[in-house]
Structure 1
Amino acid sequence: MQLRDNFNSDTLMVENPKISKISPKIHIIGNDGWATFKAEGNCTGEGTSTDPYVISDLNINAGGSGSCIIIQNSDIYFKIKNSTIWNSGISFGDAGISLIGVVNGLIENNTLYDNYSGIRLDNSDNNLILNNTILGGFNIGIFFYANSQYNNVSKNIIKNGNYAVQSYFTNSNITIYNNTMISNTYGLYLAGVNHTITDNILKENLYGIRIGDSHDSKIFRNIINGSKSGAYGLYVINSDNVKIVNNTLKYGGDTAMYLVGGFYNEVIGNIVSYNGDNNGDHGVIIESSRYIILLNNTISFNTGSGLFLNEVYATTDYNKILNNKIHNNGGSGVIIGSSNFNNISNNKIHDNGAYGVRIGSNFNNISNNIFRDDAGGPYGAEIYISYSGNNNLIFANYFISSLFNPGRDLGSNNKWNSSSIGNYWSSYAGVDANDDGVGDTPYAILGGSYDFLPIWWDSPQILINSPNEDDTFELSPTFNISVSQGNVNNSWYTLDNGITNITFTGLNGVIDKEEWNEKGAGQIVLTFFVNDSKGYVGSETVQVIKSYDTPQIAIISPTLNEIFGFNAPDFNITINDLSPINATWYTIDGGLANYTFSGLTGFINQLGWGQKEDGVLTIRFYANDSLGNLGFEDVNVIKDTTAPNIAINSPIQDDIFGSTSPEFNISIIEENLVSTWYTLEGVAGTFSFTGLTGTINQGIWDSIPQGEISITFYAEDGAGNIGIESVIVIKSIPSQPGTPGIPGYNISIMLLGIFSIAIISLLKKMKKF
């Protein structure tokens, strides 16, 4: 069905209009009028709350004049439902359904179109308008004309008209709940007090919601999207004590929320994003208003500034902007122009296209906000105070900004710190030596002002005293750190870049053994951390090396091929290892018998030594450490318990020598010969020689009287074994020959003497053997 549109240029279509009984226009006056209407068979019911009069399933065409249905001066219960009501007149008082002086009416599930007003209420209370569809061709979808209260408009669809719902100022306590209003000039245009507007969807209207002179009203949980350029999503004018809570205003073509001329209004928990077609379109404007509270709102991605406070015909003072998130707006986050005594606190303001906050007014308090990475505007500042901004107080804010100096002050007598604290500046270059949370030097603000008490707290600074870089350990090392600045609250370290953190107390300790043992050999990075009571963290790293080396043994004694006899050798060793040594032992038989010992010195077991044959013996020393690594070292020694064997080749027994000392030639069987010497019977001392041949000392020989002389030869080996062999020679020096034929000598007597000497010599030999 095609409808005419007296108020919009569009041609509208109604799909599947109700197939209902065609009815003439209806006009019921008073309760008696209802009785007559029923008696004529036009409705059902008894007019009670449980059995109301019911007008239903009608199709009423007013023919372009007057109203389709008029109910007047009625306080009984009735319903108008399931009807198609259309084509009223276009005069101000014409409507599809008009209630005048009516109480207890229910208008439900009707389709109304092509009427001046779809539903009009005048001096009517406690009526419910539910689940109706009001389509184009109307000036006002639902119109509260005058002196109506406690009416409820719920779950209706109102499209393509001028005003979806309108109320004049003498009405009150209207509830508008869960309606859908699309493509109207005004979604809601209300005056009057104590209205409740909740959970409605207003889409692509020129204005979403406009209320004026509407005190004590509540606007909760509405979605206002796509308001047109040149209009506002939510416009509140000259209204006090209005609560605007948890609404969403997005994708509007102009400023999303505009509050002007009000007192004590509260704007809480709203989302205002992606609004505005040009730079003058802001997220929220507050003008000529006082004591407004903006709390916990998100104002973001709007073309202009996020929030603009300004004076037009009255001052905009004493407002509170608290705990809001204001970010990524094309202009500044907040503009305070010609607005005094405002409190901007605890907001998160970041990534806006100009300043974080721009101030052109006086006596404002800017505190406890977080400013981060706003573009800084032409003056490169998070907060910019113009020449007209005086006596403002800025303190306890956090400026975490890439801007070199995020403050600029061209006004006068502005204070950038309170009596106890200033602001945090990420570009502050000073220190806080006494850890009182205040930087020791002022922070300079561009324009000549100073923050004399900048918030600053130095992170703890760690020095690792041990271990040192590239120290090598097998077992978990000890550590010792010192903290050069800051107060330590907690301490911890990690061996795996923070996957596992091990806490500790004090300044020294031992690296956790389980964590250490899980690490393989090679480089390990130890990172130590400390934090302070504010959560600031200081850290320092050191790289150490984990090794699996075996114990290294060095044998000082015995030495290689050292010779020993019957007595077992002593020993002296050294052991180098990064881990404690668990046990030490040695073997002299290839491990058949092991002999443990403690310390680094001792004696080879005498019993075991005595059981070994002469020859080369291998002594092997062992050591294992606490990690189970085993080291060993060998030394070969010689056992020799056999004395050298001497054979005297010459002189032979009873060789006779005269004045010339005899020569000798001997043989010695001994692999480890160390020294040789001889002695002469009756002569003190020994006479060493080398080799196997030689001559008896001539001088000593000369001093020996004639007769038998025992020569004893000695040979000593490396083990101290001594071999001995002797031979007896005769020293005989003939007398000098006399004059031949000397008289007086008897030859017989001379022979007897020679014989006697021979007998004596023989007897001595026999005695010897």
Structure 2
Amino acid sequence: MENRNFLKIVKIGIVILCILLTMPFLNKFDSKLEVNIIDSEQHVKTPKTGNIDESPILIDAEATGINAHNWSWAVSQDWCNGSGTEIDPYRISQVSINGMGVNNCIEIRNSKNDYFMIDHCNFLNAGNADPFQLAANLFLNNSKYGKIILNEIIGASSNLAMGLYAENCSYLQIESNNVSENRFNAIQLSHSFASNITNNLIYNNHYGGISVVDGSQTIHITNNLVDQNYDGIGISDGSYNWINNNTISNNILDGIICVNCYNVEIASNEITLNKYDGMYIASSNNLNIIANTIENNVYGIILRYSDSNSLWDNIIIHNNYYPVWLYSSNYNRILGNTITENKETLTQIDCIGNELIDNIIFNDPEQQFLIITITAIVFLLLVSIIIFWKWKKAKRD
């Protein structure tokens, strides 16, 4: 009877040991299933080449007088048609413009009541003769109801200009553009509202990929491929914005940055291979950071001076240092995340009231292997002691 019980103990121990030894491999297999690979060549349709070469264009919808460059003047040109309604917007299409390093390619001001569309155009080499003035291939100011679709917006390494700059604008749709090689931000919205930045290919810009600043609200940034810029996507001094379903990779510094923000949702993004932080959050509150994959960055998620944020269901794996690092950040909820195979572990410094619930946390694979090895040695040692004790007892009997 004693021998049977002993055999049961040994069998149970072997099963437990096998489970411990296979856990790291199961984690690796599951994490690979979560990766969603996006083909950058299929992400954005290639714009048609413009068949009208034009000089830089300035439209001021409120301009009056002889030869005023308003929309009435624009529709009298070969490159524009439409009536400015929602069904029949003013349309600039199939145009190629070279800013020659001293002009914005297209500049639209004070268009607050008319609908307009710019599509299938090529803009390149914007600049400004005055280095203290903003320049952009596509420059929008104090305007509404614009669609910027299927354009190629290319900068020049010698000119400090943006790809697309919108200031004090709303109800913009910026979709399916290729924006590359700009010396400053690829797309920047400043003090703008209720706009969508969707399905754009943004790569190899010398500063930021997408930047939303100066109190901009209700901006939806979705399904963009943001690759090989200085920073990926940044929001500062903003609220009620969304960063969803983007692929953000290979940027020189951070994948996503939020500074002085509140009520922002960051969900279902693939944030990989950025050279510094996957996500950097500073002085920001009430953010929902949900179901992102943050992999192979130097750091995973950094929170500094940020309170009452929620981190749910994120996969944070294979980062070189801290997967989650909180400094002076309080009352955050960290719930149901998978945090595995990073060089360090989740770390809090000068924090109070943070909740860690139902997270799966493993450290560096070498540490996992060491823990499992020690467990196996201890188990085998116990089995050996029991066998030796049984042998000694049988010998005495």
Do 1:331 and 1:353's aligned partners in 2 also have CA atoms closer than 8 Å? no
Residue aligned with 1:318, SS = coil
Does residue 126 in structure 1 map to residue 138 in structure 2?
A: no
Aligned with 2:348 (options 323, 327, 336): 336
Distance across 1 between alignment mates of 2:55 and 2:209: 31
CA-CA distance at 1:62 after TM superposition: 4.2
- Give how far 1:93 is off: 8.8
Selected match of 1:264 from 271, 283, 286: 286
SS of 1:341's partner is coil
| 1:188 has 2:210 as partner | yes
Q: 2:81 maps to which residue?
A: 44
Written as runs of structure 1 = structure 2, the 5 A alignment for 1:607-626 is: none
User: Following the alignment from structure 1 to structure 2, what is the Cα–Cα distance between the partners of residues 402 and 251?
Assistant: 31
CA-CA distance at 1:150 after TM superposition: 2.2
Q: Counterparts of 2:131 and 2:238 in 1: how far apart (Å)?
A: 23
Question: Quick one: structure 1 residues 309 and 268, their matched pair in 2 at CA, closer, same or farther if it must change by over 3 Å?
Answer: same
Query: Where does residue 317 of structure 1 map in the other structure?
Result: 330
2:221 to 183, 193, 197: 197
Paired AA for residue 176 in structure 2: K
For 2:266 and 2:149, locate their aligned partners in 1 and report how far apart those are by CA, in whole Å: 24
State the distance in 2 between where 1:166 and 1:160 align. Answer: 15
How many residues are matched? Answer: 318
Q: Is residue 349 of structure 1 aligned with residue 361 of structure 2?
A: yes
Conserved 8 A contact 2:107-2:138: no
Name the SS of the counterpart of 1:195 in structure 2: strand
Structure 1 CA distance for aligned equivalents of residues 104 and 202 of structure 2? 23
Distance 2:352 2:369 in 1: 24
Q: 1:299 aligns with which of 316, 322, 341?
A: 316
Question: How big is the shift at 1:94?
Answer: 7.2
Does the C-alpha gap of structure 1 residues 247 and 349 become closer, same or farther in structure 2, counting only changes over 3 Å? same
- The answer for unaligned runs of 5 or more in structure 1 is 1-14, 96-115, 277-281, 356-372, 377-400, 405-425, 430-769
Structure 1's 17 and 216: CA in aligned 2 closer, same or farther, altered over 3 A?
A: closer
C-alpha distance 213-354 of structure 1, shift in aligned 2 (>3 A): farther
1:66 — aligned with what?
Answer: 103
User: Corresponding residue for 1:157?
Assistant: 178
Using the TM superposition, give the Cα deviation of residue 351 of structure 1 relative to its aligned residue in structure 2, in angstroms: 4.0
Classify the secondary structure of the residue corresponding to 1:217: strand
Higher helix residue share: 2
Where does residue 55 of structure 1 map in the other structure?
A: 92
Q: Is 1:78 aligned to residue 132 of structure 2?
A: no
Q: CA separation of 1:132/1:331 partners in 2, compared to 1, >3 Å: closer, same or farther?
A: same
Alpha-carbon spacing, 1:322–1:354, altered in 2? closer, same or farther (3 Å):
farther
CA distance in 1 between counterparts of 2:297 and 2:238 reads: 25
Instruction: State the distance in 2 between where 1:16 and 1:317 align.
Output: 47
Are 2:319 and 2:342, in contact at CA under 8 Å, matched by a contact in 1? yes
Contact persistence 1:141–1:163 (CA under 8 A): yes
- Cα distance in 1 between the residues matched to 2:296 and 2:174: 30
* Aligned equivalents of 1:156, 1:200: Cα separation in 2: 10
> Counterparts of 2:170 and 2:279 in 1: how far apart (Å)?
27
Which residue in the other structure is 1:174 paired with?
A: 195
Q: Higher relative contact order at CA 8 Å, sep ≥6: structure 1 or structure 2?
A: 2
- 1:347-375 CA-partner distances (Å, limit 9, x unpaired): 111243698xxxxxxxxxxxxxxxxx486
Counterpart amino acid of residue 342 in structure 1: N
- Please say if 1:208 is aligned against 2:232: yes
TM-score calculated relative to the size of structure 1:
0.38
The residue type paired with residue 359 of structure 2 is N
Counterpart residue number, 2:71: 34
Q: 1:241 aligns with which of 263, 278, 295?
A: 263
1:82–1:247 distance in 2 versus 1, CA, 3 Å = closer
| Preserved CA contact (<8 Å) 1:331 1:354 | no
Task: Call closer, same or farther: CA 1:60–1:375 in 2, change over 3 Å.
Answer: same
Deviation at 1:41, TM superposition (A): 5.8
Q: Aligned partners of 2:316, 2:76: CA distance in 1, in Å?
A: 60
Check the 8 A contact 1:195/1:214 in 2, yes or no.
no
Distance 1:250 1:92 in 2: 35
Structure-1 separation of matches of 2:293 and 2:243: 13
Q: 1:118 to 1:302 in 2, by over 3 A?
A: same
User: Residues 618-676 of structure 1, C-alpha deviation per residue, up to 9 Å, x if partnerless?
Assistant: xxxxxxxxxxxxxxxxxxxxxxxxxxxxxxxxxxxxxxxxxxxxxxxxxxxxxxxxxxx
CA gap of 1:47–1:216, structure 2 versus 1, over 3 A, is closer
Contact in 2 for aligned 1:20/1:84 (Cα 8 Å): no
Letter in 2 for 1:260: A
* 8 Å CA contact 2:283, 2:305 repeated in 1: yes
Residues 25 and 285 from structure 1, CA distance in 2 versus in 1: closer, same or farther, beyond 3 angstroms? closer
Tell me which residue corresponds to 2:41: none
Distance 2:79 2:296 in 1: 53
The percent of aligned pairs where both chains have the same amino acid is 26
Contact 1:88 1:94 (C-alpha < 8 Å) held by counterparts: no
In structure 2, C-alpha distance between the alignment counterparts of 1:160 and 1:61, rounded to whole Å: 14
Where 1:256 maps in the other structure, the secondary structure is strand
| Cα distance in 2, alignment partners of residues 209 and 267 from structure 1 | 14
Q: How far apart are the structure 2 equivalents of 1:221 and 1:127?
A: 23
- What do residues 352-403 of structure 1 show as CA deviations (whole Å, max 9, x unaligned)? 3698xxxxxxxxxxxxxxxxx4867xxxxxxxxxxxxxxxxxxxxxxxx666
User: C-alpha displacement at 1:82, in angstroms?
Assistant: 3.7
Q: Deviations over 1:186-229 (max 9, x none)?
A: 1112122222111111112221111111112111111111122x
Distance 1:259 1:199 in 2: 21
Secondary structure in 1 matching 2:72: helix
Query: Who is 2:24 aligned against?
Result: none
Map 1:352-363; keep pairs closer than 5 Å: 352=364
The alignment partner of 1:124 has SS state of: coil
Q: Please give the TM-score of this superposition, normalised by the length of structure 2.
A: 0.72
Residue 30 of structure 1 and its aligned partner are, at CA, apart by: 2.9
Note if contact 2:50-2:93 (Cα within 8 Å) is conserved in structure 1: no
Root-mean-square deviation (Å): 3.0
1:287 is displaced (CA, Å) by 1.2
Using the alignment, how far apart are the partners of 1:290 and 1:165 within structure 2? 29
Q: Aligned partners of 1:260, 1:294: CA distance in 2, in Å?
A: 15
| Structure 1 segment 714-753 matched on structure 2, within 5 A | none
Q: 2:194 touches 2:219 (CA, 8 Å); kept in 1?
A: yes
